[in-house]
């Protein structure tokens, strides 16, 4: 098991995380085949999944432009996004303007996110601003390599070149480059996915609860 980095201390403050329940994020046994068939994803295609509400901080325009670039260079790349929000109509217009067609599917609100993660090959987050996304923790648990922007707490979650790739925020070309690299190299995806699954042990809810209890006990002991 890889040593957890949580909690971490910054400027006199401890950073604690929510954590995830590994059992709760386990997909259905038939999830990959069933969901890929539902989405029309072929066995030889590479599916990038995003789970993020359609809000400004998630920078969907960056993701959509990267999808145009990447899928133009690597035709096997397909994209799906789970989420809803105030920008749904704007993103539908941009999707049409960019001519993405069925290469990029907006799935709206879904209750089967963990099954969708099992159907995916890469998890992508193109955010302009972030905290510590639970979706990335869950993607790690699913064994997905993560392509994400280098913002907020993401560099603490994703080690560039280990569990995935980090790129500058707002740089759709760099995002596309990372996606094309992963799409073209199944071995790289497998290695990064294995590292991601190992990293997920650091986010086990039991560790998170123990850390929080320890901090509360310390604070009570100071009174």
Q: Per-residue pLDDT tens for 50-77?
A: 999 999 999 999 999 999 999 999 999 9
Q: Per-residue pLDDT tens for 92-118?
A: 999 999 999 999 999 999 999 999 999
Task: Pick one of 3.20.20.70, 3.40.50.300, 3.40.50.2000, 3.30.420.40 as the CATH number of 24-222.
Answer: 3.40.50.2000
**pLDDT confidence tier of residue 222, bands split at 50, 70 and 90:** low
pLDDT at residue 123 in the model:
98
Three-state DSSP state, 35: helix
> What residue ranges do the domains of the chain occupy?
24-222
Q: Which structure tokens are listed for 95?
A: 């999707």
* Alpha-carbon span 95 to 116, nearest angstrom: 21
Q: Given strand 104-108, what is the order of strands in its sheet? A: 104-108, 77-82, 46-51, 122-125, 146-149, 164-167
* Alpha-carbon span 220 to 118, nearest angstrom: 43
């Amino acid at each position: 098991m890889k040593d957890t980095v949580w909690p971490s201390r910054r400027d006199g403050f401890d950073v604690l995380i929510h954590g995830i329940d590994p059992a709760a994020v386990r997909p259905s046994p038939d999830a990959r085949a069933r969901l890929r068939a539902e989405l029309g994803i072929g066995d030889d295609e590479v599916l990038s999944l995003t789970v993020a509400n359609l809000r400004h901080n998630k920078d969907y325009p960056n993701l959509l432009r990267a999808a145009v670039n990447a899928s133009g260079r690597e035709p096997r790349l397909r994209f799906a996004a789970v989420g809803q929000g105030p920008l749904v109509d704007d993103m539908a217009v941009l999707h049409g303007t960019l001519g993405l067609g069925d290469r990029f599917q907006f799935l709206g609100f879904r209750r089967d996110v963990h099954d969708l993660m099992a159907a995916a090959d890469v998890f992508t987050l193109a955010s302009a601003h972030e905290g510590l996304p639970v979706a990335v923790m869950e993607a790690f648990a699913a064994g997905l390599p993560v392509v994400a922007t280098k913002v907020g707490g993401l560099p603490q979650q994703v080690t560039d070149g280990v569990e995935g790739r980090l790129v500058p925020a707002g740089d759709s070309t760099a995002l596309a480059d990372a996606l094309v690299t992963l799409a073209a190299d199944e071995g790289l995806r497998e290695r990064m996915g294995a590292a991601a699954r190992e990293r997920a042990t650091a986010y086990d809810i039991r560790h998170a609860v123990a850390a929080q209890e320890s901090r509360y006990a310390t604070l009570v002991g100071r009174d």
